[in-house]
Amino acid sequence: MFKKFIVILILFSVVVAGLQLFGGRDFTQVPTAWDKYQHGGGFTNLIKDVGIIFSGDEISVGGLATAKLADRLIYRWTDEYGIVHNSERMPNVEKYEVIRMGDITVETQEALDEEEIKKALQN
């Protein structure tokens, strides 16, 4: 049983190496597919990405950078002089606030058109 497993593993390795060298497959994308899976991509998406890699195409990386940034933590604290500090490193103080980047919301507003700008400048 163990010998069969080793033989299958060796054959699989030879096939993957052959596809990498002669088939135009880019298996360097596998870590990217794994990162996407770890940041909420789901197991079915991981299987799809591996299938895309084996077919010779490139996987999409849209949203991966955003997902990685959302997991980052920012530490905020106020020093003895009243100055607020933000850092990615945990401060060496007793009282600090932990902010997860994915929990921050950003509000936007619509831009003014030319007429509204002229009216605002006249007032």
**Residues 44, 82 within the same domain:** no
Query: Which residue is listed with tokens 């010998």?
Result: 3
Question: Tens-digit pLDDT profile for the chain (123 aa)?
Answer: 788 888 888 888 877 777 766 667 777 888 888 888 887 777 888 888 888 887 888 887 776 666 677 778 899 999 999 999 999 899 999 999 998 887 777 778 788 888 888 888 887
**What is the reported pLDDT for 83?**
93
Same domain, 13 and 29: yes
Asked if 18 contacts 10 with a C-beta cutoff of 8 angstroms, the reply is: no
* Apex 82 CA angle, 78 and 87, nearest 5: 30
Alpha-helical regions (H) of the chain: 2-22, 30-36, 43-55, 64-70, 114-122
Do 46 and 36 contact (CB within 8 A), yes or no?
Answer: yes
**32, part of any domain:** yes
Burial of 34 (0-12, 13-18, 19+ CB in 10 A): middle
3-state class (DSSP) for residue 35: helix
Domain count, the chain: 2
108 within a domain of the structure (yes/no): no
Q: Are residues 54 and 76 in the same domain?
A: no
Task: List the domain range (segments joined by +) for residue 30.
Answer: 2-67
Same domain, 42 and 97: no
CB 73 within 8 A of CB 87: no
Residue 115 lies in a domain: no
Task: Identify whether residues 37 and 84 lie together within a single domain.
Answer: no
d(CA 85, CA 91): 9
In a domain, 121, yes or no: no
